[in-house]
Structures are given as structure tokens and as C-alpha cells.
Structure 1
Amino acid sequence: MNPYLSIIIPAYNEENKIKDTLENIKDIKEISEIIVVDDGSSDNTSKVAKEVKSDKITVITQDKNRGKGYALNNGLKVAMTKADIIGFLDGDLGSSSKEVAKLITPILNDEADVIIAKFPPAKKKGGLGFVKGLAKESVLEMTGVELDATLSGQRLFKKEVLEKFDEIPFGYGVEVGMTIDILKYGYRIKEVLVNMTHSETGRDLKGFIHRGKQYYHIKKVLRQKKKEWR
């Protein structure tokens, strides 16, 4: 019997991308259900998602924007009841969401307990690499494991890994914090190169503010993890 695989997609104001994101994964035979959590969007994200024809898709609409961590936890309440494998995908992947198939095969083959999507280099010039460098160095310092895609939110987990967490942490440091914990618990992580694309932040004020928040949250998470694992 094939494992039950749930995909959770937190989405905020993604009416332009969510249809393509869903259309390109709904027919992947290994995927059993897709849970879209509309994180209080002010556009038609929920409406567009509900119009995609598939018995696999469930749309949860939150009354207000509470952030990605809250949306993931909301989706997990549903997914954890049935799933053997749970995946997180962003709502803005568009047609490149089909690349999730590259993550499914290695986890089904027991090559690792967690599979992380490694994106190709960004097309748009973003920051100066401070955030990515901090994330990579933090995980290496804490675990001795060198990973390139520590900030990637596209991940597949065996259920037993997620059962170690009472809830998904909130804030921009969530991926780094979880990666450290997963490795410290002794689980195996594998990165897989995918040809995924999503919205990129540029070298404008909005982009620098976003990266500043990421940097602050990662530093905060690192301090917390050093206390927890000393």
C-alpha cells in the first residue's frame, strides 16, 4: 500500500499563482491530498483555489493574516490525522510546483527522513548573501552538517519527524530552527536540486527590510537553539 502523502500550501494574496501551483501537482499520483491554507488574503486566493477541479484539494480560509507558521500549523491539524508523509510548498511556485515530484521519489525510497528542495541560483540580484550565509553557518556550527538550502520552505517530511514538534515555530527563522532540531534528533536530511521558481525579493527597500527581518529572526533562533542543545 502506498504511503498517504499530504501537501500543505500556505498562501497569502496568491490569486495570480495559486491556480498554476495546484494544477501542476494535483495529478501527481503519489500525492493523496492537498491542503491550501489561505492566510487571510485580501484578494481571491481562496476563490481561485476552490475553482481548481480535484477531489484531493481542501481549502482552509483563515479570517485574518497570521503568518506562515500559523497557516502551516493549521494545515497540519488536518494532515497529521491521515498522512505518512507531509510536504510544505509555497503558493507562488506556479507551474514549477510539478518539480515536487523530484522530492517525492527519494523519500519514498528511504534515502532520507526529510527532503529539502534546492533552488537554482536566483535570477534577480537580491541581497549580499548575509542571510543565506548566516543560515548555512548556523546549521553547520550547531550540527556539523553543511547544507546549502537551509532557507528553503519546500520540504517533505516523514510523519515521525514532525511528531517531534509540538507546533511549527513562527517567524522567519522557522526553517533554520527546524533544520537544527531535525539533525540534532538524529534524522537524515537530503537536498535535491529542483528547477523551481517563485517570487524573489530584489535590492529595493522592501527587499532589504525583508532580509533584515530574516537576519534578526535567524540570530534569535540560533541563540535559542544554543540554550536548548548545550
Structure 2
Amino acid sequence: MLVSVVIPAFNEEKNVKFVIREAKKIENLKEIIVVDDGSTDRTAEKAATAGATVIRHEKNRGKGAALMTGCFAAKGEIIVFLDADLCFKADDLEKLLEPIKKGRADMTVAKFPKARKKGGFGLVKSLSRWGVYLMTGQKFNAALSGQRAFKREVLKSVREIPAGFGAEVGFLIDVLRKGFKVVEVDVNMSHRETGRSLRDFAHRGRQFTDILVTLLRKLYAV
């Protein structure tokens, strides 16, 4: 099964080449697509130099829109989402792909180790976990994780990914409601960690708001 890797990126010139380099090591790779979501730095240039296909949004449209742009362009039988600030090894990516290739899952979600430093108060993660549980009756510790792999037929059935920071949670809810098998996979991946500055709390506030709005829309869509 051929694999398309989709990487949404906004001002990630320092790390995007690393993500592409590791993704290139996986088996049966078809393509790596970087969606530059209106970056003001050299993200697009760095990604192209590293060998990715680059699609550029002239203005920042948010993560959900970037993921959808990448999905429309992807040609693989399996699609993988990776964040551009990720630190990981190709072996962890293979772990995500294995249950799908062996027919044990339709979608996998990466479950990270505990963060090494304190960030927020866990409100965003708690909202995500409980939101998914209340909407689907299924518990996922990593409902907010952006690192996931899924069969093309999953996307064809769900058809869209919610906008903004509610993308991952909304997509997971829709996939579960459609009856697809989703499993969490323990990996040794990490993000660039946030702290407790005003900027960090503002970011988490936007996440919380987007996810809450997404959950409310899913609730009334039933």
C-alpha cells in the first residue's frame, strides 16, 4: 500500500526539513506533501529543497484547511498526517502504519509520552478526550494528536476535516461515527513544547475555543 505524507506547516523553516528527511525513510512512500499555510518565512523553500511537493496558501487559513488541501492532492492508499514541528524517528512512523497495513485498523493515532515540562493545566486535552467520549462512547487518551494514519476510504467516507484547531478532534469523531476501527499507538514522538507565557496561554485559549465550537457543531449535527 503506497503512502502519502501530508505536513501542514506555518512558519516552520527550522524544522520542516527534519520532518521530511525522516518521513522519506518509510517503506512504500509515494509522496510527501507540505502545505505551507501562509508562512512569512522560508518554510516553502526549505520544504521544496528537502524534496517535498509544496502547495502554498497565500493567506493563513488554519490547520484544518491545510490538511484538506493536502488530502485533495494526495494519491496514496494510506494518508499520514505529521506536524511540522515534530521530533521523531522513522521507526515511530512505521509503528503508526503497521496496524493499517496488517488490517487491524482503519486509522491509527499517535500517543506521545508525557511532556517533559509543565505547560497548561490540561484543559484542552481534557475537553478533547471527554468530547470524543460523549459523542462516540469511546475513550481516547490522544484525541488531540495530530499524528495519525488512515486508509483513503476513511477520508472518502468522512469527506471533510473541521477548520482550525478542532481539526483532529472533529475528524476523529466523524471517523468513529462512521464505524471505522481506530487504535492508539504508543510512539516516542515529541512536539516543540510550550510553557506558561502569555503567548502560550493565548495559543491554548484559541485551541480550547476551536475545539469547543467543533464539539458543539458535532453535537447538533447528530
**For the superposition of Structure 1 and Structure 2, which TM-score range results when normalised by the shorter chain?**
over 0.9
2:212 and 2:67 map into 1 onto residues whose CA distance is 22
Does residue 1:161 correspond to 2:161, yes or no?
A: no
Does residue 1:145 correspond to 2:143, yes or no?
A: no
Task: Tell me if the contact between 1:85 and 1:157 (Cα under 8 Å) persists in the aligned partners.
Answer: yes
Task: Tell me if the contact between 2:158 and 2:178 (Cα under 8 Å) persists in the aligned partners.
Answer: no
Identity %: 49
Runs of 5+ in structure 2 lacking a partner?
A: none
1:44-193 alignment, distance < 5 Å: 44-52=42-50, 54=51, 57-79=52-74, 82-96=75-89, 99-193=92-186
Structure 1 residues 35-77: Cα deviation after superposition (integer angstroms, max 9, x where no partner): 111112111111111222x4xx311222222211121111112
Task: Tell me if the contact between 2:62 and 2:165 (Cα under 8 Å) persists in the aligned partners.
Answer: no
Please report the TM-score for the alignment, with normalisation by the length of structure 2: 0.94
> Which residue identity does 1:43 align to in structure 2?
D
1:163 and 1:190 map into 2 onto residues whose CA distance is 19
Task: Tell me if the contact between 1:131 and 1:211 (Cα under 8 Å) persists in the aligned partners.
Answer: yes
Does residue 1:212 correspond to 2:205, yes or no?
A: yes
2:171 and 2:31 map into 1 onto residues whose CA distance is 24
Partner-residue secondary structure (3-state), 2:185:
strand
Worse overlay, 8-17 or 204-213: 204-213
Task: Tell me if the contact between 1:21 and 1:97 (Cα under 8 Å) persists in the aligned partners.
Answer: no
**Which residue number corresponds to residue 198 of structure 1?**
191
Shift of 1:97: 5.7
2:106 and 2:88 map into 1 onto residues whose CA distance is 26
**Which residue number corresponds to residue 20 of structure 2?**
22
Task: Tell me if the contact between 2:25 and 2:90 (Cα under 8 Å) persists in the aligned partners.
Answer: no
Partner-residue secondary structure (3-state), 1:65:
coil
Partner-residue secondary structure (3-state), 1:8:
strand
1:166 and 1:184 map into 2 onto residues whose CA distance is 13
Partner-residue secondary structure (3-state), 2:215:
helix
Count of aligned residue pairs for this structure pair: 222
Partner-residue secondary structure (3-state), 2:158:
coil
1:34 and 1:204 map into 2 onto residues whose CA distance is 34
Partner-residue secondary structure (3-state), 1:122:
coil
Structure 1 residues 16-37: Cα deviation after superposition (integer angstroms, max 9, x where no partner): 1011111111122222111111
2:33 pairs with 32, 35, 39, which one? 35
Task: Tell me if the contact between 1:97 and 1:196 (Cα under 8 Å) persists in the aligned partners.
Answer: no
1:206 and 1:96 map into 2 onto residues whose CA distance is 29
Partner-residue secondary structure (3-state), 2:217:
helix
> Which residue identity does 1:159 align to in structure 2?
R
Task: Tell me if the contact between 1:40 and 1:66 (Cα under 8 Å) persists in the aligned partners.
Answer: yes
